[in-house]
């Protein structure tokens, strides 16, 4: 290692090799340092439903969107000829995103981590009501109103059977 003498001060011309090695290791580790990439992927059957998350349209299914925060999201799917699906979906953090482990996975882990959340929705076709069934139902309701008795509202499924509001919840598969 060479030395230079300036005004009676000894100056080292090259730093020790270990400083270069430590600097190279630090730069290589920091350049590829981990981060967590979070995405929500929404699919529908049939494809093409308009997907809205937290009242913000994000596109037509299948579609994916990045997210930062965990919690409950309001998800809506709309498609012509199908019932609209409205769901509140809770997203919980994986084990490596719970403090204090999240510091390691976000800052020190040598590779990026992908956290993809997949939501599959089965769209239910709108049912068409037979004209005679509709007239019979209207006459029945008219008679109930005249008698002063009005039943709880119901809906008809594609088989022509009535369903209560509690039975009309959307089908979600994960």
Helix (H, G, I), strand (E, B) or coil at 110: coil
How far is it, in rounded angstroms, from Cα 79 to Cα 60? 9
pLDDT mean over 90-109: 84
* 26 found inside a domain: no
Question: Residue 144: CB partners within 8 Å, gap ≥ 6?
Answer: 150, 151
Is pLDDT at 171 greater than 80 in this prediction? no
* 40 found inside a domain: yes
Number of domains in the chain: 1
* 4 found inside a domain: no
* 131 found inside a domain: yes
Q: Name the residue with tokens 């403090």.
A: 99
Predicted pLDDT of residue 173: 42
pLDDT greater at residue 55 or residue 34:
55
Predicted pLDDT of residue 169: 46
pLDDT mean over 17-22: 67
Q: Sheet with 85-91: list strands edge to edge.
A: 56-60, 50-53, 71-78, 85-91
53, 117 contact by CB (below 8 A): no
pLDDT mean over 134-157: 79
- Six-digit token pair at 11? 């100056």
Predicted pLDDT of residue 165: 47
pLDDT in tens, 23-47: 656 655 555 566 888 999 999 999 9
* 104 found inside a domain: yes
* 151 found inside a domain: no
Question: Residue 171: CB partners within 8 Å, gap ≥ 6?
Answer: 121, 122, 124
Predicted pLDDT of residue 9: 52
How far is it, in rounded angstroms, from Cα 155 to Cα 38? 38
Is pLDDT at 73 greater than 90 in this prediction? yes
In the DSSP assignment, the letter for residue 125 is: B
| Containing structural domain, residue 131 | 35-146+156-174
Is pLDDT at 4 greater than 70 in this prediction? no
pLDDT mean over 55-59: 94
* 98 found inside a domain: yes
* 63 found inside a domain: yes
């Amino acid at each position: 290692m060479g030395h230079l003498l300036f005004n009676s001060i000894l100056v080292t011309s090259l730093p020790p090799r270990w400083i270069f090695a430590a600097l190279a290791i630090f730069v290589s580790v920091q350049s590829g340092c981990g981060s967590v990439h979070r995405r929500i992927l929404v699919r529908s059957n049939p494809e093409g439903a308009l997907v809205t998350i937290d009242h913000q349209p994000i596109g037509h299914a299948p579609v994916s969107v990045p997210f930062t925060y965990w919690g409950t999201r309001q998800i809506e799917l709309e498609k012509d000829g199908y019932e609209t699906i409205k769901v509140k979906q809770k997203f919980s953090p994986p084990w490596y995103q719970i403090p204090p482990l999240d510091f390691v996975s976000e800052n020190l882990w040598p590779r990026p981590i992908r956290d993809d959340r997949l939501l599959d929705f089965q769209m239910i076709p709108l049912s068409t009501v037979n004209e005679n069934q509709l007239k019979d139902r209207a006459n029945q309701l008219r008679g109930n109103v005249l008698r002063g008795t009005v039943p709880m509202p119901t809906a008809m499924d594609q088989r022509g059977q009535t369903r209560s509001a509690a039975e009309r919840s959307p089908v979600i598969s994960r």
